[in-house]
Structure 1
Amino acid sequence: MKNYCTLVFIAFLLLGMNVSAQQQPEPSLPPARIDSMLIDLNKAIVESHMPGLMISIVNRSGVIYAGGIGYSNLAQKSRVTSQTVFRFASVTKMFTALAIEKLISEGKFKLDDPIKKIAPEIPFENAWEKSNPVRVVHLLEHTAGFEDVQLGRMMAKDGQNMHGITVLEFHKNSLISRWKPGERMSYANPGYEVLGYLIEKFSGMKVNEYLKNNILLPIGMKNSAILTDNTKMQNLATAYHFNGNDYQVLPEYTLASNGAAGNLVSCADDISKYLISLLNYYQSKSGNIIPEKNAVEMDSIHSSLAAKNGLQTGYALGNAVFANNKKITFRGHEGLGEGFSSWIFYNRKNGIAYAIANNSGENNWRISQIIESFITRDLPPVLLNSSVENLDRFREFDGYYALANPKNDRWDFLQKIFNGVTVRFSNQKIILKNNRGHIDTLVHVRGNLFRIQSEIIPAFIFSKDENGTPFLQGYNTSEFFTKVAKAPIVIQQYLFYAGLLSILIALILGFVALILLLFKKINYQRFFLLALPALAGLSGLLAYRKLSITDEVNKIAFSSINATTLFIFFTSLSFGFLTIISLILLIKQWNILKNKFVKITLTFTIIMLCYLTGIFILNGWIGVRIWAL
């Protein structure tokens, strides 16, 4: 009996040792380290022009730190506390994906179900629907090929959320597949509006109600909500924009949404509860929100060509993998709204997660690096993996690759010209050089997977699509590049640069013409010939500046016909109109222009302005009616 008890004791001891070996130690921060971290963060938010910052750091067992620094309201000198509410924008998608996964776990539909099968009333266009239908997984992973939300469709004009099929009709201009669903990831908010509609259809509840009752409250997030209108929530931090000299208060807004794409507001206390739940496979007070296998499934990438060829770095079910840290890999989501920027990152293996949010819309990169350096300080360095395989088989991938998955064809048409990489095989390594001259060295890991030399996981893949065209995926989670001839791209780049140069020359010629007219050195006929190209260039610059400033501080203006949108319409139209008039005047006065330098300079300027007019017309930016996009 004594020997039996001894054996049982040893067995339990070994079992305990095995469990301990599998369970990673939970990071923690002693008070002195937290204080040191907060000092660094205080310095960072001042230098980064962030009035206030929300911070949540947890491990599996509980909260390490939940609170904030700086001000939630500068005028009132209100400090950020653990109860201060921030907008989390696109981080909402993590909660929407969880809601969808819950409905899937309840048998309401399946991850691979075609949308036409479960909701045929949804208005979308897919030229490949018979062979490559849009599925639920494509919406979750942004691989349906849809465009991101159009400029004039971002904000609700009446300050109210939309529901049912109405919101999808409102965004139908974005719900068009630009390539076969499942090929490439392209971030598209309207896809999550479709997921919101599925939540409403299969639960019988509005998105905000379903998320509140089935996710937020079970986790204990009593001070969080999915906003449904412009009403300012209690304790909500004031949104600011730093204009270079001072902080400008931004107006309250409501997204033109059913709430699924970006309407979450929360505070450090609540987000801490969510992060602990997430690390424990979405545990709640009444049990797990979804089965553990579904939680694991959410961290896998299913549908893209890259994923099917073995790459698991990119956008999964409402979360993405980030290969930035040198010790551990974080998953999570970023959110950017008007005057707010939020990040959530987690690592289940190591049992650590954190969230940050600021109220000026500034990039959180520096903040995240400070926090990660503190919470990963005691973790051992990672031994970087690389293969010893002969890589001659990758020589066929040498060449130039152009970006093939912009978020929006109208906004980002120049990315197809300028956002490309040259791939060169050298000494059993692959060298990438982008159009800005930045160089990265890729190290082979296994199969077709590569990592940047200094990163710990493979984030790049070389392969071919079903037509045999080589592609490369990597950078910024899931940028997708296809191999193309470089010469036509380079020609377009030089032409565009020449077009920009022509605007500068036109402005100079216009200024000189004005001086000459004032001193009566030229007549009005010659003055208009020299001045109209300048007016064209000035109109284009004014349209661009107005568009940029409005995009930063007042997107709601894009949603209706008003002074701002009419100004952009007429100035962009004037660019094209004045350019054409300039060309006509040049032709009419060609024979009377005696100064060869002026003749050549003016001809170059007007021809290149015509080139810019042509590409802007082709991409819909001449006389753009933003309110109607």
Structure 2
Amino acid sequence: MLKRLFSLLTPLWLLMAWLDASAQHAAAALPVDKLSFQIDSLQKAHHIPGLQVLIFTKDSLLYQRNAGLRNLKTKTPVTAQTLFPVASITKSLVAVATLMLVQQGKLALTDEVKKLVPDIPIDNPWQTTDPVRIAYLLEHTAGFDDWSMKAYAYNNPTISLQEGFTIDPQARRTRWRPGTFMAYSNAAPPVVARIIETKTGHEFESFVRQRIFTPLGMKRATFHRDGAALTDLATGYVGKDQQEAPYWYLLARPSGGLNISALELMPFVQMLMGRGSFQGQQLLSPALVDRMETPTTSLANRAGSQQGYGLHNFITAYQGHLLHGHDGAGIGLRAHYLYQSGLNRGIIFLINTDGPAFFKLRDAILKLVLQDIPAQLPPEYPLSAAQKQTWLGYYRPSHFRIAKTGWFLGLTDLLRISEEEGKLVFYDGLGSNPVRLRPIGAHRALRLEKQGYTPELTLVQDDRHEAVLVRAFGAGIQANTATKTSALGAWLPVALGHVCLLIIGLCVLLGFGWLGRGVWLWRKGRRLSALPVRISLFVYGLSYVVMLILLNGEGNHLGVVSPQSMTVFVTSVLGPLAALGALASLLGRYKQISGRFDWLFMSVATSSAMVVVGYLGVWGLIGFQTWA
């Protein structure tokens, strides 16, 4: 009875809380001095070359900060006119352009993509029962892989949208039933943009300029390095040493090619805050803006989750308030816009560097902008003992954003939910601190993070009736889902993975010792026992150490034929060959090994090497051509 009453009263409570918060705090004064102090302090502490920060309502600008340099070499300052490449924020324009055609009756979000653009191949094993639809592309629930390294490294300023589809066709393969799980993919927006082109007869960029840029007064915004971008574009900087990043001519501009200033991006955000209206112009109906902000196609959303990724518009939950927007990450550049229409607040911040500075700046701005606004948390749902039990246990990452990363994330990321002092707590990875969970439904809970964020977790079942934990979309998350497993299923791969990594490191360290000892014995006319085994294990370990270092490196060198990518290819072949050589040599010379430790280590190391080779073979990482 109590739970039934809870389910009836929760929507009413949320409505009353929202109305109360809106009425009391919509006109709350901004702490301007504190904002400037925090921004300047973070810029200095984290060596942010330049930045733009705006805070505004749907009708007016409340705060503006342009600081630092857009180019360190020329010492050119950031001004209000400085353009920043805003990367994936571009996707929001794709969504709005699509909704404009929906508004005209030329498209429906449920339209089958294959029927609209049959010339773009999509590999969908579920085509008969579950075709890919426009909404799936916009919400990233089509199951597409993300771009390959080759696609990310592609750098051609003149490539057309249609030509871009030939570069990485394998990304358009549905890896699970469309419309079930979300995985962010840059391969989806170009398909939607092409649909827009076929329906309008105009190039995507031309359509956006006519229907979005012109009405909103975005006169200097551009998808190319032309116009204002030739004279006022911020340069990106990478790493602690602030290496200048080259301009990124993206493979498909609808995925992230927009160059714009914060001041010109503001009208676009104000239009969304105004429910499709800007300065008397109704670009979109309020219902379509609501749909853009509301994710609906995933299993988590169908299970009642109010968070996730809408139509190229995702939710950032802070103290229970749901802020909409999108971020963008380029080479040495980060961008984000956020807004909450009920509170009448919008935020834009653009910086020309990467790293943790972006997130610290976001945290500081949100904390100050919302400091006088009470938290808006729904009441805690009273879980029964049986319901609580369904949450408890271990979860391994699944449904990866980039399929090739699964081999590593599956060994290093382990999620767990446990009960401590009668409350559910969440461990988001190995060595992470516990985060308190606040159940808001039988299968939904909020993470009460120290910074004030309250992202949602949703428990659903996949096609195989396995429990899957769905995390709210966020920057840097390579797998938004994790599938429940046993304690053995959780810890065995992690333990084996770490033991194998340790042995790889020991093979390298001991290998240098073996080489030195072998040379010393050779000079004395003697020979180190089982030398072929030792050399093989040393080559095996060194190959994979080099491969891991290169795969973890920065830049797009791996996406083209380069010394780095060729080295990865060579080591991905040399490692397995050396492991097989170690096995063959060990079997033929095990009687020659002097010393119990040597025999034990070589036996364990060789067995470990065969496990590693088999595992990487399953993931397709033997003969890994990163440029292909």
Give the alignment's TM-score, normalised by structure 2: 0.89
**Aligned mates of 1:558, 1:508 — CA distance in 2:** 27
Q: Deviation string for 1:344-373 (max 9, x for gaps)? A: 111111110111111112241110122122
Name 1:421's counterpart in structure 2: 415
**Aligned mates of 1:415, 1:506 — CA distance in 2:** 23
Residue 381 of structure 1, CA deviation: 4.1
Name 2:88's counterpart in structure 1: 90
Root-mean-square deviation (CA, aligned residues, Å) is: 2.6
Contact 1:138 1:303 in 2 (8 A): yes
**Aligned mates of 1:621, 1:348 — CA distance in 2:** 47
Residues 21-420 of structure 1: pairs in structure 2 closer than 5 A:
25-27=25-27, 33-164=31-162, 166-227=163-224, 233-242=230-239, 244=240, 246-257=241-252, 259-284=253-278, 287-323=281-317, 325-326=318-319, 328-363=321-356, 364-382=358-376, 385-388=379-382, 390-420=384-414
Residue 276 of structure 1, CA deviation: 2.0
**Aligned mates of 1:80, 1:423 — CA distance in 2:** 46
Return 260-269 or 586-595, whichever deviates more. 586-595
**Aligned mates of 1:117, 1:487 — CA distance in 2:** 46
Contact 2:35 2:365 in 1 (8 A): yes
Q: Deviation string for 1:461-505 (max 9, x for gaps)? A: 223345433222225448222223332342221111111111121
Residue 52 of structure 1, CA deviation: 1.2
The 3-state SS of whatever aligns with 2:255 is: coil
Name 1:431's counterpart in structure 2: 425
**Aligned mates of 1:144, 1:229 — CA distance in 2:** 34
Query: Any gaps of 5 or more consecutive residues in structure 2?
Result: 1-18
Q: 2:539 aligns with which of 511, 514, 535?
A: 535
The 3-state SS of whatever aligns with 1:49 is: coil
Contact 1:67 1:80 in 2 (8 A): no
Correspondence 1:448 to 2:449: no
Judged with a 3 Å threshold, the aligned counterparts in structure 2 of structure 1 residues 221 and 611 are, in CA distance, closer, same or farther, namely same
Return 524-533 or 136-145, whichever deviates more. 524-533
Judged with a 3 Å threshold, the aligned counterparts in structure 2 of structure 1 residues 476 and 432 are, in CA distance, closer, same or farther, namely same
Q: Aligned AA for 1:443? A: R
The 3-state SS of whatever aligns with 2:395 is: strand
Q: Deviation string for 1:389-422 (max 9, x for gaps)? A: 5353342443332222210111233323443323
**Aligned mates of 2:618, 2:445 — CA distance in 1:** 37
Residue 562 of structure 1, CA deviation: 3.1
Residues 518-529 of structure 1: pairs in structure 2 closer than 5 A:
518-520=519-521, 523=527, 526-529=530-533
Judged with a 3 Å threshold, the aligned counterparts in structure 2 of structure 1 residues 207 and 468 are, in CA distance, closer, same or farther, namely same
Judged with a 3 Å threshold, the aligned counterparts in structure 2 of structure 1 residues 67 and 458 are, in CA distance, closer, same or farther, namely closer
Name 2:566's counterpart in structure 1: 566
Name 1:621's counterpart in structure 2: 621
Query: Any gaps of 5 or more consecutive residues in structure 1?
Result: 1-18
Judged with a 3 Å threshold, the aligned counterparts in structure 2 of structure 1 residues 353 and 543 are, in CA distance, closer, same or farther, namely same
The 3-state SS of whatever aligns with 2:372 is: coil
Residue 175 of structure 1, CA deviation: 0.6
Name 2:14's counterpart in structure 1: none
Return 484-493 or 63-72, whichever deviates more. 484-493
Residues 442-591 of structure 1: pairs in structure 2 closer than 5 A:
442-453=437-448, 459-465=456-462, 467-477=464-474, 479-520=480-521, 523=527, 526-549=530-553, 552-553=554-555, 555=556, 557-591=557-591
The 3-state SS of whatever aligns with 2:353 is: coil
Name 1:11's counterpart in structure 2: none
Q: Deviation string for 1:303-344 (max 9, x for gaps)? A: 000111100111111111112x22633121121111111111
Q: Aligned AA for 2:151? A: R
**Aligned mates of 2:226, 2:487 — CA distance in 1:** 49
Contact 1:83 1:235 in 2 (8 A): yes
**Aligned mates of 1:581, 1:273 — CA distance in 2:** 64
**Aligned mates of 1:149, 1:346 — CA distance in 2:** 29
Judged with a 3 Å threshold, the aligned counterparts in structure 2 of structure 1 residues 48 and 350 are, in CA distance, closer, same or farther, namely same
Contact 2:66 2:79 in 1 (8 A): yes
Name 1:599's counterpart in structure 2: 599
**Aligned mates of 2:180, 2:261 — CA distance in 1:** 37
Residue 285 of structure 1, CA deviation: 5.4
Name 1:9's counterpart in structure 2: none
The 3-state SS of whatever aligns with 1:57 is: strand
The 3-state SS of whatever aligns with 2:172 is: coil
**Aligned mates of 2:421, 2:552 — CA distance in 1:** 44
**Aligned mates of 2:384, 2:198 — CA distance in 1:** 53
Identity of aligned pairs, percent? 23
Q: Aligned AA for 1:444? A: P
Contact 2:378 2:440 in 1 (8 A): no
Q: Deviation string for 1:173-223 (max 9, x for gaps)? A: 011111111110011110112111112111212222121111122111112
Judged with a 3 Å threshold, the aligned counterparts in structure 2 of structure 1 residues 22 and 322 are, in CA distance, closer, same or farther, namely closer
